[in-house]
Structure 1
Amino acid sequence: MPTITTKDGTTNQHVGLTRRGFCLCCIGGATFAATGAWLTPAEVFAAAGNIVDMIRGEAANAQIKTHKLRKDVSMLEGSGGNIAVLTGSDGKLLIDAGITATRPRIEDALTALGKEPIVRLINTHWHFDHTDGNEWLHGEGAAIMAHVNTLKHLSVAQRVNDWDFNFPASPAGALPTDLMNNERTVKLNDETIALKHYDPAHTDGDISVYFQEADVLHTGDTFWNGIYPFIDYSTGGNIDGMIKAADANVAATTNKTIVIPGHGPIGNKKQLIAYRDMLKAVRDNVARLKKKGHSLDEIVAAKPSAKFDAKWGKFVIDPRFFTQLVYEGV
C-alpha cells in the first residue's frame, strides 16, 4: 500500500529527493554507492544498455509516496515524473501518467485517495516517464488531453539523440484525443484548471497546469527542483525557452503557491526563482565562452556551472552534460 504524507501547503516543508524519485538517478546512484564516483551521462547510458528498459525495470520496484497538498490536490512521487491528482465527486483527474511498471502501486495510491473513477488525464509533454501509463489509464476511463505537439511526437517513431534511443509510436489507446494549442480551461470537482502552453522549452509541447482554487501549479519538466534539467533539442527544446518558461512560472506564482515540478521535491516561488537564476547564469557563462571561440571541451574544462554544481549537479544530469545541453542552444 502507498505511504501517505500530509502536507500544509502554506509551509516551506519539502519532500526530500530520493534517487528513485527521479528514476534515471537509480543507475547513477547505484554506481556512486558502489564506487564513490558519479558516472557521466554517456557512461550511465552505456552501462544501462537500453536506458529506457532499465528505467522501466527500476520502476517495477519503485514505491509510490502520496503527498496531500491543498484542498483535493495531491502529488504521487516515485513513478517517473511527478503526478498530480485532483479528487472529487466528478471523478479523478491526473496530471501525467508515470511509468506503467508502477501501475499496481499507483492504483493503490489512487484508491487510498478515494473510490471515484479516473475520468481525465493531462500530459504535460510527451516524454515516456510522463506518458508511459497513458494506455492503461485510458483503459480505466481517462480521456487524455495534451498539446498538439505531444500527440505529434507520440504518434510516430521518435528519436531522442541525447538518450541515444528511438521510441516507437505509441499504441492508439495511449494517444491524446482532446488537444489544445495555447490555452485551455477545465472545470472539475469545483476547481478551475488553467492550462497554458509554453513556447518551446523542455520540448515543443510543454504545458503548465494551474489549480486556481487550490493555488497549486504543476510545471511539468520546465522546472526540476534541486537538479539540473534535461533539455530535449530533438523535439524542440532549448535553453532560452527553458529560461522563458522559468520566468513565466515565477510570474504565475505567489509566496503561497505550491509548485509541483516535473522532477524533484514539492517546491515554492523561492525555489522557482533560484532555478531561473541558475539557468540564466550558466547560459550566460557558456554563451560568453562560446562567443570567444572556445570549443565544447574547453568550455566544460572552464566549469561555467561551478557556482551551482554542489546543489544542482549531483544527479544524472551532471555539470558536464548540462554544460553540453546549454552549449547546444547558445
Structure 2
Amino acid sequence: MASTHGLSRRGFCLCCIGATTMAATGGWLSPRQSFAKAQGIVDMIRADAARASIKTHKLRGNVAILEGSGGNIAVLTGSDGKLLVDAGITATRPRIVEALSSLNNAPVKHLINTHWHFDHADGNEWVNGEGATILAHDNTRKNLLAAVRVEDWDFNFPAAPSSAIPTETFSDETIVTLKETKAILKHHPNAHTDGDITVTFAEANVLHAGDIYWNGIYPFIDYSTGGSIDGTIRAVEAILATTDGQAIIIPGHGYPVSNRSELRDYHEMLVAIRDRISKLKSQNQTLEEIIAANPTAPFDQKWGRFVITPAFFTKLVYEGV
C-alpha cells in the first residue's frame, strides 16, 4: 500500500475494492458484495500496477525498500548477488528492474516470499526466470501450488505457474547465509495467513514483517488460508520481543520505514479492538449490531482511513473471536 504520509493508489491490492466501493456509495458493503460488483479484478490490479511508480528507500547494511508494487519489497545487495523479500506485481517489472539496477548491477540470486498473496508473490515467475531461487514457508508453497478461494474477497485464485513455486521451503526457522551477512527466516503460525514469515537481516538490524504488520492501516486477515486475529497479535508480540529500539521494521503495507514504537502502537490497537469485539460477541450481539456500535472508533482516524474500512476490520475480528 502507499505511504500513509501520502496515500494514493500506489501498491493497489485486492482489499482496496471494499474501501473504494464504500467511498462511492457512502455505505459499507461486505467484501463479497464488493467483489461481486468488480469485474476482472486481477486484470484491474495489474493495470493499476502497470501505471505505478517505484520509490526506493535506502536503509543501512546494504538493505533498501522498493515501494509501489503491491507489498513493500526489501532488497539486500551484496557481492554474491541480490536477495529480494517479496516480488510484488508483475506489471511493475520494468520499474522494479530499473530500481534494482540503480542499487548495483548484481543479479537477483534469492527471492523470499513472506506469504502467498498475489500482491507479494505475483512477480515470482519473472524473478525466477532471471535466475533467482525462491524460498518460502511450507504453507506458502502449498497455497501457491493449489487453486485457493479467499472467502472474504469472494475470489478464486488459480494455482501459480510451476516457475513461480518456491523450490526451497522450511517449517519453523531457517537461515540464508550470504558472503557479507545472513537472513534469519522465522515462521509465525496462523497470523495474516498460515505461512507468514519474518525476515531479519541481523547485522543491519532490519526486519521485514510482511503482512503481519500494516503501518497506519487496519490489516487484512485471511481466514481462508489459516489467518487469525489472535495469531496476528502473537506474531506482533514475538517481533516486539526480539527487536530493540534501533531496529528498522518494514511493514507489508503502509509507509515502508517503521520502528518498534510504531509496531507497539499497532499491537495496542489490535488488542484493544479484539477485546472490545470479543466482549460484544460474548453478549450475543450480531455482527450487524457490533458494526453499529463502532468498536473501532477510538482508532479509526489513524488506522481506518484507507484500504480496510472500520466495518470491514470489525467483521474480520468478529470472525476470529
How many Å separate the matches in 2 of 1:172 and 1:70? 34
Superposition deviation, residue 275 in structure 1: 0.4
Identity over aligned pairs, percent: 59
How many Å separate the matches in 1 of 2:17 and 2:52? 13
> Structure 1, residues 216-238: CA drift from partner, whole Å, max 9, x if none?
00000000000000000000000
Aligned 8 A contact 2:21 2:29 in 1: no
Secondary structure of the structure 2 residue equivalent to 1:199: coil
Unaligned runs of 5+ in 1: 1-13
Change (3 A) 1:161 1:50: farther
Secondary structure of the structure 2 residue equivalent to 1:60: helix
How many Å separate the matches in 2 of 1:22 and 1:289? 34
Q: What is the match of residue 9 of structure 1?
A: none
Aligned 8 A contact 1:40 1:318 in 2: no
Superposition deviation, residue 44 in structure 1: 4.5
Aligned 8 A contact 2:215 2:254 in 1: yes
- Map 1:250-329 to 2 at 5 A: 250-265=240-255, 266-329=257-320
How many Å separate the matches in 2 of 1:191 and 1:15? 31
How many Å separate the matches in 2 of 1:39 and 1:79? 27
Aligned: 1:48 with 2:38: yes
Change (3 A) 1:50 1:117: same
Superposition deviation, residue 52 in structure 1: 2.5
Q: What is the match of residue 197 of structure 1?
A: 187
Runs of 4+ in 1 over 4 A off after TM superposition: 25-33, 35-41
Aligned 8 A contact 2:19 2:308 in 1: no
Q: What is the match of residue 206 of structure 1?
A: 196
> Structure 1, residues 75-106: CA drift from partner, whole Å, max 9, x if none?
00000000000001110000000000000000
Change (3 A) 1:18 1:28: farther
Change (3 A) 1:38 1:225: farther
Q: What is the match of residue 16 of structure 1?
A: 5
Q: What is the match of residue 225 of structure 2?
A: 235
Aligned 8 A contact 2:188 2:235 in 1: yes
Superposition deviation, residue 173 in structure 1: 0.2
Aligned 8 A contact 2:75 2:85 in 1: yes
Secondary structure of the structure 2 residue equivalent to 1:70: coil
Aligned 8 A contact 1:96 1:122 in 2: yes
Task: Please give the root-mean-square deviation of Cα atoms over the aligned residues, in Å.
Answer: 1.9
Aligned 8 A contact 1:28 1:38 in 2: no
How many Å separate the matches in 1 of 2:17 and 2:285? 32
Aligned 8 A contact 2:134 2:165 in 1: yes
Q: What is the match of residue 11 of structure 1?
A: none
How many Å separate the matches in 2 of 1:28 and 1:62? 20
How many Å separate the matches in 2 of 1:239 and 1:68? 32
What one-letter code is carried by the residue in structure 2 that aligns with 1:269? R
Unaligned runs of 5+ in 2: none
Aligned: 1:176 with 2:166: yes
Out of 152, 167, 187, which is 1:162 matched to? 152
Superposition deviation, residue 27 in structure 1: 5.4
Aligned residues: 316
What one-letter code is carried by the residue in structure 2 that aligns with 1:97? A
Aligned 8 A contact 1:182 1:197 in 2: yes
> Structure 1, residues 112-171: CA drift from partner, whole Å, max 9, x if none?
110001100000000010000000000000000000000000001111011111011111
Aligned 8 A contact 1:126 1:150 in 2: yes
Aligned 8 A contact 2:187 2:198 in 1: yes
How many Å separate the matches in 1 of 2:70 and 2:191? 19
